[in-house]
Structure 1
Amino acid sequence: MKTLYQDTTRNDPHTTAHAHWLLSRGSEVRTALVTALLDLFDQAWATAVPLGALRSDDPATGLTDAERELLRLLAGGLTDDGAGQRLGISSRTVSRRMASIMERLGATSRFEAGLKAAQRGWL
């Protein structure tokens, strides 16, 4: 069993005792900063589909509506932080989404990705 606690639980003697009990039985226990957990949640939330909604991938491009909007915002000159704020996601999520888009385009830079996206009519 793998268990992940917030970093602050290192200061709680009851949680620490339980963690050591788990360790003695072969489990793995780690702690993480809350910000890392929040970034992970933000990433999962941004890519999740609302209950009852259909995925809105464009069959011609494979882009989701969120990816198309991200491309539009970045092409309009916004930074990762600015685009992330507009979309309600972290700049790390912006970077991950762009890396995915770049991979699909076969681009090695964002500039090249922008050119290829425009050539394909993605913008």
Structure 2
Amino acid sequence: MPELKAIYIRQRKYIFLLLSLYVLGWGFTSYQTIFLGLILGTSLSLFNLWLLARKTDKFGEAVAKGEKVRSLGMLSRMATAVLAVMLALEYPDKLHLYSVIFGLMTSYIVIMIDFFLQAFNSRSK
């Protein structure tokens, strides 16, 4: 599934761009708790995206070989979300809870935006 790897690499670049903007915001503004929450949430969101891409690749290989198909790892992705929220609740003076939650949703937002951009680009060709 080389196209899946290309999609993952493209989306990873977008998330790294967002993370670099968040780091600049953390370093140069007075909203450090908000940007630190965004950094934590988006970092774990990138980890979840990596897990999803890896599990999807293994899922495709198992289907092609006719083997038994396992899950796509929803429990592990939910566990990282719970970990992020627990950290935000434990350290409210350092991490803004809502920005952690928004950061966790970043990869899904990037997936949707990337899908629409690719659909628009393929339609205009």
Same fold by TM-score, threshold 0.5 exceeded? no
Higher fraction of strand:
1
Structure number with larger C-alpha Rg: 1
Higher fraction of helix:
2
Structure number with higher relative contact order (C-alpha < 8 Å, ≥ 6 residues apart): 2
